[in-house]
């Protein structure tokens, strides 16, 4: 893979963007502070995600961190500075829209967790569609240590990923969880050897990029939406989605390719 290229003047040091084929890799880039979030880094990441969403050639995004960490959550030095907007405003005005933006991306998002993911950094990763982590990576719901509740979607995500008992265990103890433990409890998709993380994440993303993007994203949205529905309503929603998807190119192509015993070429986004 080539060296990442910067996104744009003004925000270039904080988030790096690199395209390889249809896969866009977005790298959080404040390694000196373990890629913890400042207000400018929030803006840079949100802009990078928006640009990926608007670029038709991008069919999958990989989110990772520079250096030895994925992301250590909120920059705690910034929060105590005079210019900080305050904790409540930060969460509502920055973490909430970021978590929603990831969940509403029009392409799959793969987290490649290269090192420690703490606080909002952990929940940013866990909000992605598929989470791969290096063996040496770890996940910490660090909020309890500083007197906060899990944010960036943590209260919603954790019980859904691992159930109430484990979610509360993770959140109340703020214990460090290894990537292997995270995989074992179903918090993440896969833990891989450190040296293989970048290659594995890119191979997975490249594979997702060849699949019917619109159906993949509809699957994520349907599963999220079904959390609020009874079985009857979820079944109806599945029918509505299949009706909409089956009139699109990719369904016609998938069926035609199967019948012709050839590889499909999907293009809807």
Q: Does 65 interact with ligand T3D (rule: CB under 6 A)?
A: no
Q: Under the criterion CB under 6 A, does residue 38 sit at the interface with ligand T3D?
A: no
- Out of 65, 73, 108, 153, the only residue in the binding site for ligand T3D (CB under 6 A) is 73
- Which listed residue (41, 70, 75, 114) binds ligand T3D by CB under 6 A? 75
Task: Compute the residue count for the chain.
Answer: 269
72 binds ligand T3D (CB under 6 A): yes
Q: Report how far residue 36's alpha carbon sits from residue 104's, in angstroms, rounded to the nearest whole number.
A: 23
CB of 193 to ligand T3D, least distance (A): 20
Residues from 108 through 127 that contact ligand T3D (CB under 6 A): 116, 118-120
| Closest CB to ligand T3D among residues 72, 204 | 72
C-alpha 54 chain-centroid distance: 17
Q: How many residues bind ligand T3D (CB under 6 A)?
A: 24
Beta-bridge partners for 65: 28
Q: Which residues contact 218 (CB under 8 A, 6 or more apart)?
A: 241, 244, 245
What are the CA-CA distances from residue 13 to residues 72, 145, 183, 262 (Å)? 17, 30, 32, 44
CA 33 to chain centre: 20
For residue 41, give every residue at least 6 positions away whose Cβ sits within 8 Å of its Cβ, in sequence order, or none. Answer: 14, 15, 28, 30, 35, 75
Nearer to ligand T3D by Cβ, of 36 and 64: the residue is 36
Contact map string, positions 81 to 110, toward ligand T3D, x by CB under 6 A: ------x--xx-------------------
In the numeric block, the tokens 């290659």 are attached to 199
Where along the sequence are the contacts to ligand T3D (CB under 6 A)?
Answer: 33-34, 36, 72-77, 79, 87, 90-91, 116, 118-120, 140, 142-143, 145-146, 148, 151
């Amino acid at each position: 893979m080539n060296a990442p290229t910067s996104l744009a003047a003004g925000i270039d040091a904080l988030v790096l963007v690199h395209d390889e084929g249809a896969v866009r890799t977005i790298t959080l880039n404040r390694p000196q502070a373990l890629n913890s979030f400042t207000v400018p880094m929030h803006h840079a990441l949100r802009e990078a995600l928006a640009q990926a969403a608007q670029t038709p050639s991008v069919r999958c995004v990989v989110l990772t961190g520079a250096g030895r960490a994925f992301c250590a959550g909120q920059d705690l030095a910034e929060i105590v500075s005079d210019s900080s907007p305050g904790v409540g405003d930060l969460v509502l005005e920055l973490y909430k829209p970021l978590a929603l933006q990831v969940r509403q991306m029009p392409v799959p998002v793969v987290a490649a967790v290269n090192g420690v993911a703490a606080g909002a950094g952990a929940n940013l990763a866990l909000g992605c569609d598929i989470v791969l982590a290096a063996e040496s990576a770890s996940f910490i719901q660090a909020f309890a240590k500083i007197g906060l509740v899990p944010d960036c979607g943590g209260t919603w995500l954790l019980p859904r990923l691992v159930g109430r008992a484990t979610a509360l265990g993770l959140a109340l103890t703020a214990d460090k969880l290894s990537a292997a433990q995270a995989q074992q409890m179903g918090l993440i998709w896969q833990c891989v050897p450190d040296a293989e993380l970048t290659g594995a994440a890119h191979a997975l993303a490249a594979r997702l990029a060849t699949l019917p993007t619109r159906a993949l994203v509809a699957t994520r949205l349907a599963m999220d939406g079904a959390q609020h529905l009874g079985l009857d309503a979820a079944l109806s929603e599945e029918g509505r989605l299949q009706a909409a998807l089956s009139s699109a190119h990719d369904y016609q192509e998938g069926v035609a390719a199967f019948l012709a015993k050839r590889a499909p070429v999907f293009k809807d986004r």
